Amino acid sequence: MNKDNITIFKNKSEAQSLLNESRLEIDKIDENLIELFARRTALSKNIVSAKKYINVPIYDKNREKEIQNKIKNLANDKNIDENIILKIMNLLFDLNKFQQEKFLEE
Protein backbone atom coordinates (compact mmCIF):
# COMPACT_ATOMS: atom_id res chain seq x y z
CA MET A 1 0.00 0.00 0.00
CA ASN A 2 1.34 3.43 -1.02
CA LYS A 3 2.49 5.35 2.15
CA ASP A 4 0.44 8.34 1.00
CA ASN A 5 -2.74 6.28 1.02
CA ILE A 6 -2.73 5.00 4.62
CA THR A 7 -4.51 6.62 7.55
CA ILE A 8 -2.24 7.37 10.50
CA PHE A 9 -3.69 6.09 13.79
CA LYS A 10 -2.85 7.31 17.31
CA ASN A 11 -3.53 3.81 18.76
CA LYS A 12 -5.13 0.42 18.10
CA SER A 13 -8.45 1.60 19.53
CA GLU A 14 -8.66 4.34 16.91
CA ALA A 15 -7.91 1.85 14.14
CA GLN A 16 -10.51 -0.57 15.53
CA SER A 17 -13.11 2.21 15.61
CA LEU A 18 -12.50 3.06 11.97
CA LEU A 19 -12.72 -0.63 11.05
CA ASN A 20 -16.05 -0.97 12.90
CA GLU A 21 -17.48 2.22 11.35
CA SER A 22 -16.42 1.06 7.88
CA ARG A 23 -18.09 -2.31 8.39
CA LEU A 24 -21.35 -0.66 9.50
CA GLU A 25 -21.29 1.40 6.29
CA ILE A 26 -20.65 -1.74 4.23
CA ASP A 27 -23.61 -3.46 5.93
CA LYS A 28 -25.89 -0.59 4.87
CA ILE A 29 -24.54 -0.62 1.30
CA ASP A 30 -24.96 -4.41 1.06
CA GLU A 31 -28.62 -4.10 2.10
CA ASN A 32 -29.10 -1.50 -0.65
CA LEU A 33 -27.36 -3.74 -3.18
CA ILE A 34 -29.67 -6.67 -2.40
CA GLU A 35 -32.69 -4.35 -2.73
CA LEU A 36 -31.44 -3.22 -6.14
CA PHE A 37 -30.68 -6.83 -7.22
CA ALA A 38 -34.24 -7.79 -6.19
CA ARG A 39 -35.74 -4.86 -8.13
CA ARG A 40 -33.63 -5.71 -11.19
CA THR A 41 -34.58 -9.39 -11.01
CA ALA A 42 -38.29 -8.63 -10.53
CA LEU A 43 -38.30 -7.04 -13.99
CA SER A 44 -37.63 -10.48 -15.47
CA LYS A 45 -41.36 -11.27 -15.26
CA ASN A 46 -42.31 -8.39 -17.61
CA ILE A 47 -39.32 -9.10 -19.82
CA VAL A 48 -40.03 -12.80 -20.29
CA SER A 49 -43.75 -12.13 -20.83
CA ALA A 50 -42.92 -9.68 -23.62
CA LYS A 51 -40.30 -12.03 -25.12
CA LYS A 52 -42.75 -14.93 -25.11
CA TYR A 53 -45.38 -12.81 -26.88
CA ILE A 54 -42.99 -11.49 -29.56
CA ASN A 55 -41.36 -14.92 -29.73
CA VAL A 56 -37.71 -13.99 -29.05
CA PRO A 57 -35.26 -15.97 -26.88
CA ILE A 58 -34.37 -15.15 -23.29
CA TYR A 59 -30.67 -14.74 -24.13
CA ASP A 60 -30.03 -11.44 -25.96
CA LYS A 61 -26.29 -11.31 -26.80
CA ASN A 62 -26.45 -7.79 -28.23
CA ARG A 63 -28.20 -6.40 -25.15
CA GLU A 64 -25.64 -8.02 -22.82
CA LYS A 65 -22.79 -6.61 -24.93
CA GLU A 66 -24.40 -3.15 -24.79
CA ILE A 67 -24.58 -3.32 -20.98
CA GLN A 68 -21.04 -4.73 -20.66
CA ASN A 69 -19.63 -1.85 -22.70
CA LYS A 70 -21.49 0.69 -20.53
CA ILE A 71 -20.34 -1.02 -17.34
CA LYS A 72 -16.69 -1.04 -18.53
CA ASN A 73 -16.83 2.74 -19.02
CA LEU A 74 -18.50 3.28 -15.64
CA ALA A 75 -15.95 1.04 -13.89
CA ASN A 76 -13.07 2.94 -15.47
CA ASP A 77 -14.63 6.31 -14.57
CA LYS A 78 -14.83 5.16 -10.94
CA ASN A 79 -11.37 3.51 -10.97
CA ILE A 80 -12.61 0.04 -10.06
CA ASP A 81 -11.45 -3.16 -11.74
CA GLU A 82 -13.53 -3.63 -14.88
CA ASN A 83 -12.89 -7.38 -15.16
CA ILE A 84 -14.25 -8.08 -11.68
CA ILE A 85 -17.21 -5.73 -12.21
CA LEU A 86 -17.99 -7.51 -15.47
CA LYS A 87 -17.98 -10.86 -13.65
CA ILE A 88 -20.55 -9.41 -11.23
CA MET A 89 -22.62 -8.06 -14.15
CA ASN A 90 -22.54 -11.44 -15.89
CA LEU A 91 -23.83 -13.03 -12.68
CA LEU A 92 -26.71 -10.53 -12.69
CA PHE A 93 -27.47 -11.59 -16.26
CA ASP A 94 -27.46 -15.21 -15.08
CA LEU A 95 -29.79 -14.32 -12.20
CA ASN A 96 -32.21 -12.58 -14.54
CA LYS A 97 -32.14 -15.41 -17.11
CA PHE A 98 -32.63 -17.98 -14.34
CA GLN A 99 -35.69 -16.05 -13.08
CA GLN A 100 -37.06 -15.75 -16.61
CA GLU A 101 -36.77 -19.52 -17.10
CA LYS A 102 -38.56 -20.05 -13.76
CA PHE A 103 -41.44 -17.79 -14.81
CA LEU A 104 -41.74 -19.71 -18.11
CA GLU A 105 -42.05 -22.99 -16.20
CA GLU A 106 -44.92 -21.65 -14.02
Ligand X SMILES: O=C(O)C(=O)C[C@]1(C(=O)O)C=C[C@@H](O)C=C1
Q: d(Cα 43, Cα 91) in Å, to the nearest integer?
A: 16
Residue placing its CB nearer to ligand X in the complex, 9 or 59: 59
Q: In whole angstroms, how close is the CB of 30 to ligand X at the nearest point?
A: 20
Query: To which H or E segment does residue 92 belong?
Result: helix 82-105
Residue placing its CB nearer to ligand X in the complex, 82 or 95: 95
96 lies in the binding site for ligand X (CB under 6 A): yes
Q: In whole angstroms, how close is the CB of 28 to ligand X at the nearest point?
A: 25
CA 73 vs. chain centroid, Å, equals: 15
Residues 75, 88 contacting (CB under 8 angstroms) = no
Site for ligand X in 30-89 (CB under 6 A): 47, 58-60, 63-64, 67
**33 Ramachandran zone, left/alpha/beta (phi>0; psi -120 to 50):** alpha
Q: In whole angstroms, how close is the CB of 86 to ligand X at the nearest point?
A: 13
Residues that bind ligand X (CB under 6 A): 47, 58-60, 63-64, 67, 92-93, 96-97
